[in-house]
Structure 1
């Protein structure tokens, strides 16, 4: 199976952490071709890697090799560093191994719409203004992701499909829902000020795609909880792909394939 797209956007992979679902992203990239691949922030988790509590199984190396193979094969790869890999913001404007490093990316979709792609930590008041709140949030998130890894192990052992406990819990927290709404509103406001028709973000690990008041908001999600990507078809239509959710792919402890994958799509004009 090979899926062809004009543009693919992925964000928040967090390589270097045990929570990174690198095997799912590797599987996804092995099944798609794209004219442009945008890595929209937090590809790496430098915060975790600096703490000396990081994880790097072989599939993560294979994932990086797949990215290099795509670049060598003619795919344009644009890398927008996020807040967890802001180290690479020191290299803005450079090309590293065929990967362009930029602060944000503006482009035209196939249907002529002007799109603005940026990670989104610019809109996160907690990250920008309160180190204390950020630290407390990180502690709770680490605990939740630890429980999610136990849940994923149990589901694999019992032959069940992929399902994220962390994502389900976050969706039930009123404060999280309020924050997501404010984030989306801030992103849309920024896009209108910049004269864009479409704004594409990551950062908050909440995949979404909607059109409101003439502007399209898209969040490509993450590869920690949701395993989602935003894609542009060759006619300019945007789709949100949930690669692992309700799929038939199960991974054994070594990350080897044992079944074929399925895809669920959500699209807006």
Structure 2
């Protein structure tokens, strides 16, 4: 059975990257409809494509499915990130029926005003330095390699997807400190603009947190978490983890 949402936020899909969970997102789109769909950056990974061109048929089907949503009446807005930054110069233009924006303010059914943007703007306030950033990238590549091989092993034995990378990241102190700095940086921007909260992606860490009266929502990614942020007709926000190819939701809710 399909589930309808007032709004859905998706980010960090990374089409063109070998770790993209395109099949799981296709399954999510099959069972979920929405009035508005925000594509919050890093939808296509041009960095990965430049390193090694890889575009499986499932990535083509996913790109078509996202565009088809706009043809079927969903209001689709694309807010490019850093991995698809070549799209940024086309802000305030239309790609077919898809709007392109750098950032915007979304008003929920409860009247809350949320800043929506990818979040790479705040990298300067989070990074520890060039050497540490380089080392972090290399360690993350190793984590994704382990994640990919474990997922293959589990699928061979009939188990659903589970992210080793996300599990390990949650237990690394430096990673948690960087996430906290990122959250603080985004909420400073919210406060500067007299808004109620923010929806972003970028750091592949889905969560809904209320901090100092402001709402921080990260919709996660489709590399590790396979997560989406959703808003229902009452303006309630949920995190949906679509880690099995089944028509069901696992949600973490934020009380209104």
What is the TM-score with the length of structure 1 in the denominator?
0.90
The match for 2:19 is 19
Whole-angstrom distance in 1 between the partners of 2:83 and 2:210: 29
| Contact 1:145/1:166, CA 8 A, preserved across alignment | yes
Whole-angstrom distance in 1 between the partners of 2:253 and 2:129: 36
| Contact 1:18/1:54, CA 8 A, preserved across alignment | no
Whole-angstrom distance in 1 between the partners of 2:208 and 2:91: 28
Q: How does 1:227-238 map to 2 (within 5 A)?
A: 227-238=226-237
Residue aligned with 2:4, SS: strand
> Considering only aligned residues, what root-mean-square deviation do their CA atoms show, in Å?
1.6
Q: How does 1:42-57 map to 2 (within 5 A)?
A: 42-51=42-51, 53-57=52-56
What is the TM-score with the length of structure 2 in the denominator?
0.95
Q: CA deviation at 1:139?
A: 2.1
Whole-angstrom distance in 2 between the partners of 1:119 and 1:129: 20
The match for 2:251 is 265
1:203-249 deviations in Å (ceiling 9; x for gaps): 000000022222111000000000000011111111111111xx4x3
| Contact 2:127/2:133, CA 8 A, preserved across alignment | no
Count of paired positions: 255
Q: How does 1:1-269 map to 2 (within 5 A)?
A: 1-51=1-51, 53-125=52-124, 131-244=130-243, 247=244, 249=245, 260-268=246-254, 269=256
Q: CA deviation at 1:195?
A: 1.1
1:154-213 deviations in Å (ceiling 9; x for gaps): 000112221111111111111000000111111111101111112111000000002222
Whole-angstrom distance in 2 between the partners of 1:135 and 1:85: 20
